[in-house]
Amino acid sequence: MKATSQLSPAQSHYVLSRLIEDRKVSSRDIVQYLSSMQNEIRALENRLEHLRSLTRGAASPAVRRGRKPGRAAKAAKAAKPAKRKVVLSPQQRASRQLQGVYMSLIRQVPKAKRTVFQNLAREKGRQAAVDQIKAELAKRK
């Protein structure tokens, strides 16, 4: 009989509280279950990412012949999500750097005057807006 599927959330809370009071389940057990839930979520996300990479036409991971990987290898693989290296063109890199400069400068401008510079960035480009903001900030100092 599956009692868990028949319990409401309030009933589940009551049962868990009683188990703790009767010392059949400790708070430490609950923490372990919750952390195992996070580990399971992480493993599922890794599996999904692997499946997505297969649908993108990426090469499948090399198949190792012989022994199966041990627990330590599986745990290490599950703990580290695969990181993709982002390759930027020189134009993209320059654009992102200019965007960072623009964002750091626009935050120094009072909110009431920001729309002027934002419109300038839209119309003439971020470089023109950066030059104007620098000139405006230089006047104040």
Domain extents for the chain?
Answer: 8-58, 90-140
CA separation, residue 138 to residues 44, 105, 135 (Å): 53, 12, 5
**pLDDT-derived band of residue 131, with 50, 70 and 90 as boundaries?**
very high
Rounded average pLDDT over 87-114: 92
Phi, psi of 94 (to 5 degrees): -65, -40
**pLDDT-derived band of residue 85, with 50, 70 and 90 as boundaries?**
confident
* 77 has pLDDT over 70: no
* Average pLDDT over the chain, rounded to an integer: 82
**pLDDT-derived band of residue 95, with 50, 70 and 90 as boundaries?**
very high
Short-list 80, 99, 83, CA closest to 91: 99
Q: How far apart are CA 14 and CA 117, in angstroms?
A: 58
Give residues with Cβ within 8 angstroms of 99, minimum separation 6. 126
* 64 has pLDDT over 70: no
pTM of the entire predicted model:
0.41
Which pLDDT score is estimated for 51?
87
The alpha-helical segments, DSSP class H, found in 1-141 are 9-21, 27-55, 71-79, 90-106, 111-124, 126-140
The amino acid present at 56, given as its one-letter code, is: R
